[in-house]
A = this chain, B = another copy of it.
């Protein structure tokens, strides 16, 4: 393992993603990627009394599923990383509580999935661990309740707003075994361009995505066309356009191979999700469901996955603060 350029880590001994699991809510189950998810739920509660408990159950069951699919005994998983959007990351803490796995709580807002992937890869590649698990979740109802308005109010949503994905995603990376390899990681810096509109997260996070993508290309010497796909986490339609334009201004044309998980997960014309999907589970489930399938079946062989996060809360918005963004990137390749 070595540092390359300004902020990229090159994994000489590349960790492998050996298994993933994804569970999604009712709306995602009607979207274009439905067939790729392991479990599609019919209701937002999944038999629980509150949305928060349902979200915890989703992350917990996604972890059980990833462990079962991988056939690795849970006591052979050395460390795990997890986090989510709820205050004090309770979905992750309560979801992970029943697993006896040493636990690092992480918070990268919607960048959490890739943050977990990077830290897991570092532990594997350093020799400190043989198997690491990482997981995240989000829930439309618990997120709306916490960050915006009570759902019962039926508030109208502006066109720039995004729809928090209900779902949970887990993955296991290992020092050995079969699966796509993690070759590079470019952890991101906090970037804040002064956007204050909490209903336009795509615009707030796009500059962070651009900063990380440009740095990744500079650090590795790679060009955009090296990758079959460059995929951001949850910028949605508006953030995706901004990212495309800003990358062009920086001299990188990603017209042919750039997409966004928030654009992919919902149908723009029939699902009424405005600017697209968001939330920790957006990047998490699209990767664990769709993208991992494409990598395993060799339909794509090289992707750059950039998860994006908005590091604010409702108090900071009420106090007039702008929205700091962050984006973490990983290069995942069939070697």
Residues of chain A having any CB pair with chain B under 8 Å: 1-3, 7, 9, 49-50, 52-53, 78-79, 83, 85-90, 93-94, 96-97, 99-109, 115, 118-119, 122-123, 125-130, 187-190, 192, 309, 311-316, 319, 321, 324, 326
Contacts and interface: CB of A to CB of B under 8 A. Distances in A.
A128 B313 contact: no
Instruction: List the 9 shortest-distance A-B pairs measured between CB atoms, nearest first.
Output: A126-B126, A93-B311, A88-B313, A105-B107, A107-B107, A102-B187, A87-B87, A87-B313, A7-B102
Given A1-B128, A93-B190, 16 more contacts: A3-B127, A7-B78, A52-B315, A52-B319, A87-B313, A88-B109, A89-B107, A93-B312, A96-B190, A97-B190, A102-B189, A103-B188, A103-B190, A104-B118, A122-B123, A126-B128
8 contacts: A3-B130, A94-B321, A99-B190, A102-B189, A103-B190, A104-B108, A104-B187, A119-B119
Contacts of A90: 311-313, 315-316
Nearest to A309: B105
Contacts of A316: 52, 90, 94
B106 A326 contact: no
A94 to B, nearest CB: 7
A192 B97 contact: yes
Contacts of A52: 315-316, 319
B128 A3 contact: yes
Given A189-B102, A324-B93, A122 B128 contact: yes
A315 B55 CA distance: 13
Contacts of A125: 126
A112 to B, nearest CB: 8
A1 to B, nearest CB: 5
Contacts of A3: 78, 127-130
A9 B128 CA distance: 6
